[in-house]
Copies of this chain bind each other. A is one copy, B any other.
């Protein structure tokens, strides 16, 4: 009998050694430019299907522009052998939520610039699409570039299918400790995993509420806080402007790292 094919994900093969993404655990480091906003809770709530509930401060959310360095467990040397498979940027819109009284966050819209991250995101319930992300970088040896200090401005922007979708800035002011990062930043992720059926008119093959694990969460020494700005641009292909007017509260710039061990299914809708 011909045995089944192997692989964590496509492509499935006899040896299963060329999957686009290797299985968890997944190890990440991230540089964040996060812009905390308050939206109208009545515009956020429709994005939280039961059993998800609004968060403790309904309407709170943030836009995150980020740079990532990642590895899957069974290819620890990928940054040396295939660097391109370990680097990407993202831009995302997050809102706070809760599950059975536990505060958390959910990602509503997100764009990334690499296919392995897009795929891995779908497995985790991140609704990733492909895009280009801009992110300010300052190098200490460029004599005209300021250091990261009070007054320095960072900008992020997201572009997809030829349209500029979001941009934000952060003017650094002072430093805080990671514990001061406000809800919903750095809170547990409650995500909605989905995969369509291929049979016309059939319900999704996968529709489940999951909690995504996070282990060994570490932060860089410097967590900057400051004034933020945010602009979302409409597109008739997108609904990221559906949250309505976003009042920007504050912004944060920091590095963090964690390991994803896997997730847990909390609820199935199909």
Within 8 A of B (CB), among A15-42: 15, 17-18, 20, 23-25, 27-30
Chain B residue with Cβ nearest A10: B127
> Which residues of B have CB within 8 Å of A214?
none
- Copies of the chain in the assembly: 4
* A136 B262 Cβ-Cβ under 8 A: no
Determine whether A179 belongs to the interface, using a CB cutoff of 8 Å to chain B: no
Q: For residue A45, which residues in chain B have a CB less than 8 angstroms away from its CB?
A: 2
Give the distance to chain B from A248, nearest Cβ to Cβ, in Å. 17
In the bound complex, how far is the Cα of B71 from the Cα of A11, in angstroms? 25
Whole-angstrom distance between the Cβ of A243 and the nearest chain B Cβ: 11
Interface residues in A79-121 by Cβ distance below 8 A to B read 79-87, 108-109, 114-115, 118
A182 at the interface (CB under 8 A from B): no
Please tell me if A12 contacts chain B, counting CB pairs below 8 Å.
Answer: yes
With a cutoff of 8 Å between Cβ atoms, the chain B residues found around residue A7 in the complex are: 194
Q: Which residues of B have CB within 8 Å of A265?
A: 198-199
Inter-chain contact B139/A257, CB cutoff 8 Å: yes
Q: Would you list which residues of chain A between 131 and 185 have a CB under 8 Å from chain B?
A: 132, 134-145, 152-155, 157, 159, 161-164, 169
Q: List 7 A-B contacts (CB under 8 A).
A: A14-B242, A27-B144, A30-B141, A69-B145, A115-B129, A123-B196, A132-B162
